[in-house]
Structure 1
Amino acid sequence: MARDAEATKGRILEAATTEFAAHGFAGGRVERIASAAQSNVRMIYAYYGGKSGLFDATLAEALRRMAENVPPRPEDLAGWAGDVFDHHQRFPEVLRMSMWAQLERPEATSEPREIYRNKALAVATAAAHPLSAVDILVFIYAIAQAWQLSPGGLTGLDENPVRTEEVAARRQAVVIAVERMLRAGA
């Protein structure tokens, strides 16, 4: 049976996303990743050079997919903030991996600079705003990520589990916050 390298790499990246999102770089285990990917540790080292290379590739792939799935909409930055919020609701592992990278492997976060630079250029050319395009992007990402990053004890104060209506209300709050920020600076 012929080996399909691309399929194996895809399974490894998928398993690594799950592992690193749950345990971070330090707690992630290549043995668990290999097992979940129906591969072996030797293939991880062959394809990625080791755990560091795998983590970096996994993070870069997750951020690349996010950039593709949620391209900036300079003509509707508030709507884009809602899109970022939605993305984090659907793919919380991307945000978790980003947080782990900032804590454990800040050098891995330098990879997506080009992605962010392109977004900032798109925003800068579309919006005449006293804040820089980078400041606007940082603010939008921070607002869109806020609920996902809130402590469980704080978000757990709500007596009812999160329902669809509550998520929709949170998304709307994100959109309104960005609209007001942009309007205040205009």
Structure 2
Amino acid sequence: MDRDAEATKERLLEAAIMEFAAHGLAGGRAERIASQAQCNVRMIYAYYVGKSGLLDAALAQALRHMAESVPPRSKDLAGWAGDVFDHHQRFPEVLRLSMWAQLERPEAAATLSEAYRSRTLAVATAAAHPLSAIDVLVFIYALAQAWQLSPEGLTSLEENAGGEEAIAARRYAVVIAVERMLQVGACGEGG
């Protein structure tokens, strides 16, 4: 087994993201995380002071990865919305982890603002919309993740709901909705 501390921390974070995304903080088990990370439970306490600290670190890493992979683009917010949609399709555990954190540990969920702060400020200076730039980004982000957060009973009503065509159509709808929202903002209210 690898005794490199950084490699062990990385394995713990990867295992924690999956465990906490599936079960939350209360339902997540340190033993499962340690087993998946090929280390012992003591390492969780040594590196992260316990499950709560590990959740905070796992969430911060997942959100930092998302912020680096899918930064807001002031000149192409509709394209950014499509990229956020794609990110959540590829990494659904990040959204689930964020939702668990908001429910069980809201102070950890504030990490998102830190991960996006500098990128958001850059977009804020370029926004031309009646809403504040932060409101625009929050709305776009919410729209981009809407299908992943919708009840499966509702989204499965569509035939072949999980198929590539259905997913592509949803992504297209997100991008078009953002484009239209931004057009209305550029033209003024009631544009």
TM superposition score category, shorter chain reference: over 0.9
Q: Report matched runs for 1:6-155 at 5 Å.
A: 6-155=6-155
Q: Report matched runs for 1:169-184 at 5 Å.
A: 169-184=169-184
SS in 1 for 2:159: coil
Deviations 1:24-52 (A, max 9, x none): 11110101100111111001100000000
Deviations 1:85-139 (A, max 9, x none): 0000000000000000111100111223222322321211222222111101110
Q: 1:71 to 1:2 in 2, by over 3 A?
A: closer
1:2 deviates by 6.6
Letter in 2 for 1:146: A
SS in 1 for 2:157: coil
Structure 1 residue runs of 5 or longer lacking an equivalent are none
Contact 2:160–2:166 at 8 Å: present in 1 too? no
Bigger shift: residues 49-58 or 112-121:
112-121
Contact 2:63–2:111 at 8 Å: present in 1 too? no
SS in 1 for 2:75: helix
Deviations 1:53-81 (A, max 9, x none): 00000000000000000011110000000
TM-score when scaled to structure 1? 0.96
Letter in 1 for 2:90: R
CA distance in 1, matches of 2:168, 2:112: 29
The root-mean-square deviation of aligned C-alpha atoms, in Å, is: 1.2
Q: 1:181 to 1:161 in 2, by over 3 A?
A: closer
Seq. identity, % = 77
Aligned to 2:189: none
Letter in 1 for 2:99: M
1:161 deviates by 4.3
Structure 2 residue runs of 5 or longer lacking an equivalent are 187-191
Deviations 1:1-21 (A, max 9, x none): 871111111111111111000
Contact 2:128–2:185 at 8 Å: present in 1 too? no
Contact 2:18–2:93 at 8 Å: present in 1 too? yes
TM-score when scaled to structure 2? 0.94
CA distance in 2, matches of 1:182, 1:154: 28
